[in-house]
Amino acid sequence: MLPKNMGPLLAVYKKELLEVSRDRKTLMFMLVLPLVLIPLLMQLTVDFVADANKKAATETLSYAVFGADNLPGVEAALAQAEGFERVSLSSEDAVPAALADEEIKLALVVPPPLGDSQQTIVELHYDNASVTSRVQARTRAFLDDFGESVRADRLTALGVTTFSDQAALIKPVVMVERGTASVREKLGEVAGGLLPYMVIPFCFLGALYPAIDLGAGEKERGTLETLLLAPVSRLQLVLGKFLVVFTTGLVSATLSLVAIGGWVVLEGVKIAGELGEVVGSIGTLDLALVWLMLVPTTAMFSAVLLSISIYAKSFKEAQSFAAPFNMLCILPAVAAMLPGVTLSWGWALVPVSNISLAIKELLKGTMDYTMLVAILGSSTVIAAALLVFCTRWFSRESVLFRQ
């Protein structure tokens, strides 16, 4: 498909690339957004989650208790517990309104025991809509500690005094977990699903405006007819334009990876614990393979967007046609975040989704490199087929001069 004389093609490529580089929108999507937006979003997300968790773990929980006589000692224990503050309510019926008005964070209701049962039920009333709420966890921790003290007192009264004897009596069988997955695999399952969602859209966004400008934009400016009269074949013209669109998309995707890597280098060293170990275990080869898989993905997006732009009569119409394809690039990327979806030979043939799942496997450190060949091969074949369609699309007069 490539022309024998590459001189005119390279001339078209240089000319179009120079014009595209002067466009502010292209520079914004290709350079500024990947380098600024991604690190900013990552930092804001980390700071927000850290601040929300810290606030939820340290805020004072105002509470009300009803039926405390049915669980002796619970009021005294709550009064001494750190981070809890009692609020008096008129009746149990006032609990829903008090929770809605944030007058209290929780209410404990202790109904009378059923029959001769020695087990006490404690009802926790709280607002469970908040994702960052720690009311349930902190209340459960308090009740677990209080329950242990009650249990220890009852066992001591029965003559079981030592802690080891009490533990053996309460839990005669104890399961000890020995998981085979490494820390990198467990955390990579989560983080690996987020990375494609952050990187793959920039393959699309980086190619979007150059593609629209080199097709529909040429029609609006009236320069397409002049360009077609140049001593350059249409194949060389469309390939030159495609290479420009592909270049901007790949630069945008590359810079998004550079931005993520830069943030990890600057801020990742501050991450302690297991997450820090996972960040440190991601090597240069892993990032290089991620970049390699973005190459055919960018080529697919570039061919599709350029075909749309060639067909459109105006810049605005091209934007309208391209908008739905933005969702088509994001939705397959979300596949890596879905529970139960893992990379298989079947998924290896699904465009974009295969790249997304492969990136997750690379970050987990469980990549089957023979499957990587199938992923790159299928993606390259699809990209080549779309490029062939684009070149033939460009050769049709009814498409170029659609009324």
- Band of residue 23 on the pLDDT scale cut at 50, 70, 90: confident
Kindly indicate the confidence band of residue 9, based on its pLDDT and cuts at 50, 70 and 90: confident
Beta-carbon contacts of 88 under 8 Å, excluding residues fewer than 6 positions away, are 64
What single string gives the DSSP state of each residue in 333-344? HGGGGSTT----
Distance CA 19, CA 99 (A): 61
SS3 content of the chain, % helix, strand, coil (to 5): 70, 5, 25
Distance, CA of 394 to chain centre:
37
What's the pTM?
A: 0.72
Place of tokens 């009852």: 154
The rounded distance, in Å, linking the Cα atoms of 394 and 1 is 14
Average pLDDT, the chain: 82
Amino acid, single-letter form, for residue 144: D
Q: 68 — phi, psi (to 5°)?
A: -65, -25
Q: What is the rounded radius of gyration, in angstroms, for the C-alpha atoms of the chain?
A: 31
- Looking at residues 339-360, what average pLDDT do you find? 83
Percent of the chain past pLDDT 70, that is, above it, reads 90
| Torsion on CA atoms 327, 332, 334, 338, rounded to nearest 10 | 140
Tell me the pLDDT tens digit for each residue of 172-214: 888 888 777 676 677 667 666 777 877 888 888 888 888 888 8
Q: Residue with structure tokens 């720690």?
A: 134
Q: Considering the domain 60-170 in this protein, what is its CATH number? A: 3.40.190
Round to whole Å and give the CA distance between 108 and 99.
12
Give the pLDDT mean for 279-297: 78
Instruction: Express each pLDDT in 55-96 by its tens digit.
Output: 777 888 899 999 888 888 888 898 898 889 999 888 888 999
Q: What is the pLDDT of residue 20?
A: 77
Cα distance between the two ends of the chain: 29
Residue type, 214: L
| Residue 271 pLDDT exceeds 70 | no
pLDDT for residue 386: 93
106-109/123-126 β-pairing: antiparallel
pLDDT score, position 66: 92
Query: In a 3-state reduction of DSSP, which class is residue 342?
Result: coil
Is the separation of the CB atoms in 139 and 106 below 8 Å?
A: yes
The tens digit of pLDDT for each residue in 230-252 reads 777 888 888 999 999 999 999 98
- State the DSSP string of 350-396: STTHHHHHHHHHHHHT---HHHHHHHHHHHHHHHHHHHHHHHHHHT-
Amino acid identity for residue 39 in this structure: P
Residue at token pair 């944030």: 102
Q: Where are the domains of the chain?
A: 7-41+183-400, 60-170
